[in-house]
Structure 1
């Protein structure tokens, strides 16, 4: 088991978690950047338990830093590249806002 903050270690040892305790574990996993399986292996935790709570406690929306790369150049059609975790989304600059929001919501929920 990887070294964990004392509070997290105490929660992981419990047979049952309160919603707040589960939220702390899920938050710790999400901040780790690890896959569920890897996090669970490192913390001696049942992956189905984490997956169940992660589904019940969706990630809070957050702002992501956007960095504009490259020099300025003109073209008839501009492409926007959006990277969320390991996912990359390329869209035309004139993409419909509602459609892009739906796509990013789906992509963001899998990252």
Structure 2
């Protein structure tokens, strides 16, 4: 972001740059964590397969599950799902009844 953009453009542009920067950092951290996990898992399986196998019931250890996506993307998806669920609950009869009760409380 240039200084001219920072000083004279809208605040929303700064927020977008900050959000993009945070997402980039999160993606890099996720990738580094994935590489680290793979390296440690590979080292343990190759250096001590028998010791690990005895403790785990024989064979090599199962791969550890790691996040499919960076945490910010997971959080955004869960927020979207929560928002959709809230909108769907309003459309149900129960949601309508609750809305009518709230409206009556506000009026009275």
Range into which the TM-score falls when normalised by the shorter chain: under 0.3
TM-score for both structures, normalised by structure 2? 0.27
Q: Which one has the bigger helix percentage?
A: 2
TM-score norm. by structure 1 comes to 0.27
The structure number with the bigger radius of gyration is 2
